[in-house]
Structure 1
């Protein structure tokens, strides 16, 4: 997440976290293949993830976008990324029963992984600032069809009490304007173990907008109940691939 606005419905979490996730976590969350990692990728919201740094170091092409990057925001995010990783870890420790300790063996492993990703973000965003573009959903500063794959982690559906249904619809349509395929994870609000209650209605509304969506199981579950992503394509793209 990259929005620093107050979130009242986050199960006691407070402000939306600027989080740091790794390439390995992205692989699991979004079921990313090696072929996927060779595509042009937009990560939105990019937050303080190490994903862009790690994929670009492998020769890939990833751009991160986040509202937190406005002005000298990316530098501020970098400066606070490790502290935010600690804040996230404190929350996880205090609510350990709401998490499955498989991807991360324990809270200490979670802390180490997130802190390392935060450090990677700080180094890469400082040396390659063009990879970190400020933007605010549901309108982003990218051309149509400028990437192949858009990844959106821990914003949509997570803050259902703060982001209304129309925001979700418009955000998904905007992300698919930029990329031919969108993957959203997770589908479960923070503090819940069940999917976003309007998910079926949203999928139906998006179908009317020419967007095909399907819920896909992934081999990753950290927050209990969050083991699925939403995969979306414009209908004409789906027809071309079928």
Structure 2
């Protein structure tokens, strides 16, 4: 079982998802899986405008008050680390570390307000890669942000490939952002994972995105199995 004390919650908005994954209006009309969404407001905001979105993350096994407490607990620590690493980021969308913090807290507050109702409706599902509790081809589009490739030193090639294969099993198209690791360099697993997926008959490509924050993170991996 996941230990909440090891979770560092950090939430992003629908607007950021649109930029990270180049989501068009047509994309937003598809059945979407957000994998590893954590306390993002993406699901709440997208649902509000009529989108069909299911988010999965192991953090959803916890009660909303537990997640709220954990957010408050780690927020000062995250902000301090962001201040120290400010030179690793592009400060165009956000004016400052403080502004970033405000935007993140707004997104997480939106998530917290939506979580109980969304969980009951089946929009938030406790699940984690590389084994998802969804049927084959349940989704048109799966999105995975700031997990695969970013943590290349924590997850090996086999874990990356198994996770990508699982995402391709449940969705006809998969988009992953970023494809750089924490140091801003292209993940050491990217080429071999793309080769493995290609060998499975899955069409893979790197596509530019408009989102700019972590330096070096300018592309997403797109995998199409249909």
> Normalising by structure 2, what TM-score?
0.92
Report the CA distance between 1:138 and its aligned residue.
0.5
Matches of 2:142 and 2:132, distance apart in 1: 12
Query: Runs of 5+ in structure 2 lacking a partner?
Result: none
> Contact 2:34–2:143 (CA<8 Å) still a contact in 1?
yes
Moved more, 122-131 or 177-186: 122-131
Q: Tell whether 2:132 aligns with 1:131.
A: no
The match for 1:46 is: 37
Report the CA distance between 1:85 and its aligned residue.
4.6
The match for 1:159 is: 151
Moved more, 193-202 or 147-156: 193-202
Look up the SS of the partner of 2:25 in the other structure: coil
Moved more, 89-98 or 110-119: 89-98
Query: Which residue of the other structure, out of 31, 37, 53, is the alignment partner of 2:28?
Result: 37
The match for 2:70 is: 80
Q: Tell whether 2:53 aligns with 1:66.
A: no
Report the CA distance between 1:110 and its aligned residue.
0.5
> Contact 2:156–2:189 (CA<8 Å) still a contact in 1?
no
The match for 2:94 is: 104
> Contact 1:82–1:119 (CA<8 Å) still a contact in 2?
no
Q: Tell whether 2:203 aligns with 1:176.
A: no
Matches of 2:178 and 2:7, distance apart in 1: 15
Look up the SS of the partner of 1:128 in the other structure: helix
Look up the SS of the partner of 2:144 in the other structure: strand
Report the CA distance between 1:74 and its aligned residue.
5.3
> Normalising by structure 1, what TM-score?
0.86
What RMSD in Å do the two structures reach over aligned CA positions?
Answer: 1.9
How has the CA–CA distance of structure 1 residues 36 and 197 changed in structure 2, closer, same or farther, with 3 Å as cutoff? Answer: same
Q: Tell whether 2:211 aligns with 1:213.
A: no
Matches of 2:74 and 2:31, distance apart in 1: 28
